[in-house]
Amino acid sequence: MDMQTIAYRIEPDAESPAEVANDYVLANQINHRLRRAHQRASGIFLETIGDAQLTPTQWAALVTLHREGPLSQNQLGRLTFMDPATTQGVILRLVERALVERRPDPQDRRRTSVRLTRAGQTLVNRLQGNATRAHARTLEPLSADEQRQFLALLERLM
């Protein structure tokens, strides 16, 4: 068996922990590769988006509010796949920049409703083209067929 085959085995046939450890190649592990791909995608986003203060996570919140309209903080977190602490931090930073505002939810005063401000709407409209370019730059090393396949495979993992 060659090293590439060994590195991709899910359940090694090795008899001892030492043999398993010798077979483990970090560069071939899914978590390592996804982290590196995420770093690359985030770097391209930050270079391309056109707003040095805007993170990919903040952008996700802004475009979700742009598409969905006002949402509870909880709904926004679920739609953007952020945990509650991250959601709260993202919203606070966007409030500080006057891109979103929080208000008590009219239907349930215990909940907080979040919506884009006029400045937030303007920013999303202005930067959507840059976000699309960042997406294209990230996938640029792949052919059009590979891009479709890659995105489909990622969807299956989510």
Does any domain span residue 55?
yes
Q: Which structural domain range is residue 64 located in?
A: 51-127
CB 115 within 8 A of CB 70: yes
**pLDDT (tens digit, 9 = 90+) per residue, 112-158?**
899 999 999 999 999 999 999 999 999 999 999 999 999 999 999 98
Q: Which of 36, 56, 60 is nearest to 46 (CA)?
A: 56
**pLDDT (tens digit, 9 = 90+) per residue, 72-116?**
999 999 999 999 999 999 999 999 999 999 998 777 878 889 999
Q: How many domains does the chain divide into?
A: 1
Does any domain span residue 96?
yes
What gap in Å lies between CA 39 and CA 126, rounded to an integer?
24
Tell me what pLDDT residue 4 has. 47
CB 93 within 8 A of CB 85: no
CATH code at 78? 1.10.10.10
Tell me what pLDDT residue 44 has. 97
Global pTM reads: 0.80
Backbone angle region of 24, left / alpha / beta, with phi > 0 → left and psi within -120 to 50 → alpha: beta
**pLDDT (tens digit, 9 = 90+) per residue, 52-77?**
999 999 999 999 999 999 999 999 99
What gap in Å lies between CA 140 and CA 142, rounded to an integer?
5
Tell me what pLDDT residue 11 has. 54
